[in-house]
Amino acid sequence: MPSLIRLLIVLGVLGGIGYGTLWAFANLVQPQTREMSVAVPPDRFAK
């Protein structure tokens, strides 16, 4: 039983670290926006 509790604690800590990392990327990192244009050939529209 102690090994099961230890496993659950380790998985919980790893899950918390992963969740915290994803939260930090989602809330603290600001993406750089820029203009983008793509030329689409006219034959793509005529089907």
Model-wide pTM > 0.75 = no
Q: What is the pLDDT of residue 47?
A: 62
pLDDT digits (tens, 9 = 90+) for 1-47: 889 999 999 999 999 999 999 999 999 989 899 999 999 888 888 76
Q: What is the pLDDT of residue 42?
A: 85
CB neighbours of residue 31 within 10 Å: 5
Which range of residues forms the domain containing residue 19?
A: 2-44
Dist. CA 23–CA 25, nearest whole Å: 5
Alpha helix stretches (DSSP H) within 1-47: 2-28
Structure tokens at 15: 């899950």
Dist. CA 40–CA 38, nearest whole Å: 6
Q: What is the pLDDT of residue 41?
A: 86
> For 22, how many CA atoms within 13 A lie in the half-sphere containing its CB?
5
Total domains in the fold of the chain: 1
